[in-house]
Structure 1
C-alpha cells in the first residue's frame, strides 16, 4: 500500500451481482386501476431480512391509516433474489410501482427505461425534495432526472478494535494518514494474535476513495477512471501485506463468512459502510468503534454520502400515489422513529431529529456528523457498475490468495469491466 500512496496516491455495502438483461420498456402502465372499494393499489418491493420487513410493514400500516385511499401490496427478498425477481418483472413490463434501489443501479435501469422520472411529481407538489441532509437530495439525480429518493445515508469508515489500536499507541481520528494506518496495522500484527486489518484489496468503494484522494475515481462518465498499472500496484501492495501477516489470511476470512473477519477476532479493523457497525457489534462481544478513512495529505478522505433509495416504475399507472408514498416514507417523523438506522442514517431532517439514537446507532450518528462537512459529491455509477463491483471483489480475492498475479488480475478485471460497461 505504501508504494501506491507515495507514488500515486474495498468489502462493499452490498456485493453487486450480475443481473439479467432487460428488454426496453415503454412508458405505458399495467399497474392496475382502482379496486371495487375505490382504493388505488400500489406494489412495493425491497430487499433485506425479516427484521427490516417487520419495520417496513409498520410504516406501511401508518401510511395506509393516513392515506385510506391507497393500499400497499408488499414483497421482499434477500439481496440477490430481489434483483433476480425484479429483472424478471421488469423484463415483462411489470416492475413494482415503487421499490428499494441504490445509486449503483440508477443509470443501468434508466438506460433500459425502467425508472420513473419523479421530477414532474416534485413540480406538482406530490413529493418534496426539501430538508435532506448532507446533499442527499442530489443523490438520485442522473442526467437531469430524479430517479431515486434517499431513505437513509451512509458513508465509508474503518470499523476497528480500540483496545488493539491503543496497545500500539495510535488513535485513528480525523486527518490521520495512510502512513499511520500502515504503521498501526503492522505493529498490531506483530504484537498480538490479530492481523492488523481484514484486507481491503477487493473493496471497490474503498479503492474509489483512495483514487479520489489522488484526483482520480473508480468510475467516470466515460468508464473507468484509473489504469491497469494503478490497479496492479494496489493489488501488489495488498498481496505483499497479506503474505507478511499484516492482513487477515483470506482463507480464514472465507471460512467464517458471512460473519466478518473483524467480528471473529481475526483482525483489528475492517473498512466498510458505517451502518455495518450495527451488524458487527451484534456478531461479537469485542467493543468496536468507527474511524474516518485515512488520508494521503492529512485532509482529504474522498468520502461521500451514499444511500438506499426509493424509485418508481416508469410503467406505473399511479405516479401521483407513488410520489405521495415516497414523500411519506422519507419525511414523516413517525416513520423515522420506526425505521431508525436500519437503512442508514435517516436522510431528512424531520426524521433525523425525530429519532433519538442510543448505543451503536448513536455512534453512527455522531460519526456522520463529524465527517459531514468534508464529504464530496458522488459520481453516478454507469450501467454495468454492479458487474464491475462483483468482478473486483472476486478477482481481488483471487490475487491475495495467490491464485492469480496482480498483473494478470488487473488485466482480467479491465477485460471484464470493458465488457460490462459496454453492454
Structure 2
C-alpha cells in the first residue's frame, strides 16, 4: 500500500469512527470533565475470541454469559485468560466469552460495535476515549455500585477513582496508575562506558548519551523516536507551558507555532544524522514484541511504565526505568495517569454480574498475583502492599517508578474533547506525511492547526 493511500485510509477510518459515534449519540450530550497517553499499549496481535460449547455447571443460580473485550500484547492476553479461568471456577454460573485484539483493531471494532448497540458487557478503555463514549451513552455509571459497596473501595483512595469520572458519573474503573518512562538497557551503557540516563537530563543529554552508546556498540540507532504520538508532543508542550488542547476542550492549548516546528525538526534532524529510524521502520515496530529496545537495536526507548513487564518478558532480559528528558527550562512535563479502565456497557443485561466481575478484577489478591501490574500500579492499597514484597522485579520497578516520577510530575492534563480519539489519529497522519517527505513541517503545521480545530468543532 502506498504511503498516500495509507494516509488516506487512516483519514477515512477517522471519519468513519466519528460517523459511528454520531449514529449512536443521543440528542442530549453529556458534559465531560477530565484526563491520557500516548501511546498507549499498542499491539499487532490478531483477533481472538472464544465461545465455549460446554454447558456451565448447574448450581441452581441463573446461568449468565458476559462478553469481555480488551487489547494488548500476548503477555497480557495470557494473564487475563488465566484470571478468567479462576473467576469462572469460583463462579460456575458465569461464562465469560472473551475477545482480545491489537490496539488499532480494537479501537475500530469497539467503535463499530458501540454504534450498532452491540458493545461487550465489559471492556477496556483509555482516558481519552471516555468523553466520546460517555456522550454516546455507551458507558454505564458505576457510582451507584460504589455507593452500594458492590465495588469495594475500602482500600481505594478517591484519587484512584478520580480519573474515571466524566462529570458526576464514574464511567471507567481505573486499573492502575502509570506514567511515561524511559526504559534503558544498563548493560549497553556499561559496555559503552556511558552514564545512565537520569532525572534532569535534557533532550540534548538524551541525544548525546544515545549517540555515544550507538557509536561504541555499533548499534543501528541511538534512540527509538515516538514523534508520531500526540501525547509525546504533549509532553514537549507541557515543558513549554502548553498542552494539546485548552481546559475547556474547545481549541488548541498552544499558540506558538515554533513549538510544533521545533518538535518535528528535532526528530527530523536526528533521522538525518542516523540516530533514529526512518518512517517505515517506525511504523513496523509499534508492537511490544517488535520494539527496537526488545530487539537490541537501541539502548533506550520511551514506554508506559506498566509496559515494563511485557517489554522485559519479550526481550527476556531486565531493563531500568527513568524519567523522560526535561525541557530546557527544567520542566519535566510529565504526569501520572490512569493506565487503563474497565467500563460497563450501559445496555448490559447482567449489570450485577458484570459489576461483581469488575470488583474481582480490582480487589482480588489472587487475580493481581497473576496480573503482576500489567495494567498499572493497582489502585487498592491492600493489593499494592501485598504485591510489592512478593512481586516480580518488573512489578516492583513500576511501583518504584511511580514514586520517582511523583517527585517531578505536574497535575494531570485537562480532559480531551469527545473527539479526542480522532485528534490522536489525525496527528499521526500529519506527522507521517512529514516523515515520508510528502509535506514540509510548515505545511504540516497549517494542516494540523486547521484540521484539529475542525475536529473539535464537530463535537
TM-score range, shorter chain: 0.7 to 0.9
Of residues 373, 380, 383 in structure 2, which corresponds to 1:348?
A: 380
* Deviation for aligned residue 1:378: 4.1
Distance 1:51 1:172, change over 3 A: closer
- Measure the CA separation in 2 of the matches of 1:64 and 1:106: 29
Distance 1:237 1:331, change over 3 A: same
Q: Are 1:205 and 2:239 matched, yes or no? A: no
- The answer as to whether partners of 1:156 and 1:206 remain within 8 angstroms in 2 is no
- CA shift digits 1:248-273 (9 cap, x unpaired): 34444446664123333333322221
Find the counterpart in structure 2 of residue 181 from structure 1.
206
* Deviation for aligned residue 1:65: 4.7
- Measure the CA separation in 2 of the matches of 1:87 and 1:388: 15
Distance 1:306 1:168, change over 3 A: farther
Q: Are 1:370 and 2:396 matched, yes or no? A: no
- Measure the CA separation in 2 of the matches of 1:402 and 1:377: 34
Find the counterpart in structure 1 of residue 36 from structure 2.
none
Of residues 128-137 and 93-102 in structure 1, the stretch that sits farther from structure 2 once superposed is: 128-137
Q: Are 1:81 and 2:110 matched, yes or no? A: no
* Deviation for aligned residue 1:54: 3.8
* Deviation for aligned residue 1:55: 2.8
- The answer as to whether partners of 1:103 and 1:308 remain within 8 angstroms in 2 is yes
Distance 1:56 1:420, change over 3 A: same
* Deviation for aligned residue 1:367: 1.9
Find the counterpart in structure 2 of residue 358 from structure 1.
392
* Deviation for aligned residue 1:276: 2.8
* Deviation for aligned residue 1:336: 0.6
For normalisation by structure 2, the TM-score amounts to 0.77
- Measure the CA separation in 2 of the matches of 1:48 and 1:185: 29
- Measure the CA separation in 1 of the matches of 2:73 and 2:62: 33
Find the counterpart in structure 1 of residue 171 from structure 2.
147
- CA shift digits 1:229-262 (9 cap, x unpaired): 4212211222122212233344444466641233
* Deviation for aligned residue 1:187: 3.8
- The answer as to whether partners of 1:127 and 1:323 remain within 8 angstroms in 2 is yes
Of residues 103-112 and 196-205 in structure 1, the stretch that sits farther from structure 2 once superposed is: 196-205
- Measure the CA separation in 1 of the matches of 2:97 and 2:286: 34
Find the counterpart in structure 2 of residue 32 from structure 1.
none
Q: Are 1:107 and 2:131 matched, yes or no? A: yes
- Measure the CA separation in 2 of the matches of 1:325 and 1:255: 36
Distance 1:89 1:372, change over 3 A: same
Of residues 429, 434, 437 in structure 2, which corresponds to 1:402?
A: 437
- Measure the CA separation in 1 of the matches of 2:167 and 2:75: 35
- CA shift digits 1:3-42 (9 cap, x unpaired): xxxxxxxxxxxxxx73632323679xxxxxxx99524443
Q: Which has the bigger relative contact order, CA under 8 A and spacing at least 6?
A: 1
- The answer as to whether partners of 2:321 and 2:401 remain within 8 angstroms in 1 is yes
5+ long unaligned stretches in structure 2? 1-12, 28-58
- Measure the CA separation in 2 of the matches of 1:337 and 1:212: 36
* Deviation for aligned residue 1:338: 1.6
Q: Are 1:193 and 2:198 matched, yes or no? A: no
Of residues 260, 283, 295 in structure 1, which corresponds to 2:291?
A: 260
- Measure the CA separation in 2 of the matches of 1:235 and 1:261: 21
- The answer as to whether partners of 2:25 and 2:135 remain within 8 angstroms in 1 is no
Find the counterpart in structure 1 of residue 304 from structure 2.
273
Find the counterpart in structure 2 of residue 292 from structure 1.
323
Distance 1:83 1:36, change over 3 A: farther
Q: CA RMSD in A?
A: 3.1
- The answer as to whether partners of 2:336 and 2:402 remain within 8 angstroms in 1 is no
Q: Are 1:242 and 2:271 matched, yes or no? A: yes
Give 3-state SS (helix, strand or coil) of 1:326's partner: helix
- The answer as to whether partners of 2:310 and 2:374 remain within 8 angstroms in 1 is no
Give 3-state SS (helix, strand or coil) of 1:290's partner: strand
- Measure the CA separation in 2 of the matches of 1:69 and 1:286: 41
- Measure the CA separation in 2 of the matches of 1:182 and 1:172: 10
* Deviation for aligned residue 1:147: 0.8
- The answer as to whether partners of 1:253 and 1:261 remain within 8 angstroms in 2 is no
- Measure the CA separation in 2 of the matches of 1:398 and 1:134: 43
5+ long unaligned stretches in structure 1? 1-16, 28-34
- The answer as to whether partners of 1:64 and 1:70 remain within 8 angstroms in 2 is yes
